[in-house]
Amino acid sequence: MSREWAGLLERIEECMWRIPQSYKPGMLVDAVVITDEEGLASACEGEALEQLANSAFLPGICSPAMAMPDIHSGYGFPIGGVGATDLESGVITPGGIGFDINCGVRLVRTDLEKEDIAPKLKAIVDRLYRDVPSGLGTSGKIRLSADEVRTVLEEGAEWAVKAGYGFEADLEHTEEGGRMDGADASAVSRKAVERGMPQLGTMGSGNHFLELQVVDYIADPEVAECFGLFEGQVVMMIHSGSRGLGHQVCTDYISTMMSALKKHDIVVPDRQLACAPLNSEEGKRYFAAMAAAANFAWANRQCIMHWAREAVAAELGSTPSRLGMTLVYDVCHNIAKIEDHIVGGEKSRVCVHRKGATRAFPPGHSDIPKAYTKVGQPVIVPGDMGRNSWVLVGTEQAMEKSFGSTCHGAGRVMSRKAAIRARKPHEVRDDLAERGIYARSASRSALAEEAPEAYKNVNDIVDICHRAGISSKVARLKPLGVVKG
């Protein structure tokens, strides 16, 4: 642990550490990071803990400001940051949500086992690479007019299903039903709409991916059965977001929020936390635009899933229905939601910012699919492409400790530039092949940028969340074939 933080951080549970409100004049609440000693040492090396402490300055923030164990430096909030703000006195900040609004993950189950696809694995991955557009600035198969984009912004995944890209049952297993209330296309700029026109149904670049995986370990048989998962089963994971449209929405409203700071007499220690009161005109319009971008992301993942299911089925001479290719769940990472939580011993309506964090609601919660009411919400946690991903389930402790939130992935430990310097793309591809993983990428640098060693070990992150009680292990997944953006 760095000298700066040594003696300051207070251990409050086995996997919970507090930065006291007294750390910086102006902090309105304590800040808490959920991690172990090794993870804390890693967080201390960069700006992540300082960013977490800065988030505790936001007007109306509820105690405490939080970070998940995959914490690392971001824009405004650290990635892994969670902050709940009061609806009356609180603010909303794009820096607490991120540029890729509703970047998220969905998991598709199948009736296939590993042996069923082993002879055709490379052919299936090659077809997925051909049939699902990926890469930086990619144009997709769907060309929309500006008015059609605006319809997607308000209808979300419902638009995709009505257009023939999937089934009604998919919506039942998508967070918010794939359509967030409060979305208003008129709050989204023309430039953002134009960036979205060619990109619906595209995976993008960076850490976005499509993976074929095998369930190699069941931690909770009862919950796994409820989710339709079994050992040896082939599943498919999709990670993508709102593409250029969401990025532009964030860019547009950061400028708006900079002006709002002065107008509303708000002082924050970092301009990346520029914000506006939730009940102000600026706050309302940003929320409406953010919700619209979130709807675009759900429609995007819905289209990707449709083409991916079709590609796998076609390569196997079957259909998605005959192969049992159904959606387990879709969760989002970068978003703000209006939710009910216990704050100061009382039930309160708050705006929960999740920046690189996943909702983890418990059994019986009204906002999870009826099929999962008895066990809790599925939590999909992608890892790096060489090790594992996980399915977890939400818990009551998450509601008590972390505003119903848990980790969203492994968390980077190496910048993309550093990763490219460390290894050549062909070396990463060869290493993956030795592990039995076949990889395709849209760019030469993608495999090096996303090399397994560029990330924390997701098994360690998940273990911390499990021990802290904010989500519980259900099933471990191992990569078989990877398509990177």
The count of residues in the chain is 485
Best CATH choice for the domain 104-484 from the list 3.40.50.300, 3.40.50.80, 3.30.565.10, 3.90.1860.10: 3.90.1860.10
- Transcribe 116-157 into DSSP letters: HHGGGHHHHHHHHHHHS--STT---S----HHHHHHHHHHTH
Distance in angstroms (rounded) separating the CA atoms of residues 429 and 122: 13
Specify the pLDDT at position 45.
85
Specify the pLDDT at position 139.
64
List Cα–Cα distances, 314 to 55, 75, 129, 130, 479, in angstroms: 49, 42, 14, 13, 21
Choice between 441 and 175, residue whose per-residue pLDDT is larger: 175
> What confidence tens digit (pLDDT) does each residue in 307-333 have?
999 999 999 999 999 999 999 999 999
DSSP 346: E
Specify the pLDDT at position 81.
98
Specify the pLDDT at position 35.
97
Expressed in angstroms, the distance from the first to the final Cα of the chain is: 35
pTM over 0.85: yes
> What confidence tens digit (pLDDT) does each residue in 211-258 have?
999 999 999 999 999 999 999 999 999 999 999 999 999 999 999 999
DSSP 424: -
Greatest alpha-carbon span in the chain: 65
Residues with catalytic roles: 408
DSSP 208: -
Q: Where are the domains of the chain?
A: 104-484
- Transcribe 298-326 into DSSP letters: HHHHHHHHHHHHHHHHHHTTS-TTTTT-E
Confidence of residue 46 (pLDDT cuts 50, 70, 90): confident
> What confidence tens digit (pLDDT) does each residue in 184-208 have?
999 999 999 999 999 999 998 778 9
Residue indicated by tokens 């914490």: 71
Indicate the average pLDDT of the chain: 95
Q: Cis omega before residue 64 (within 30°)?
A: yes
How many CB atoms neighbour CB 186 within 10 A? 11
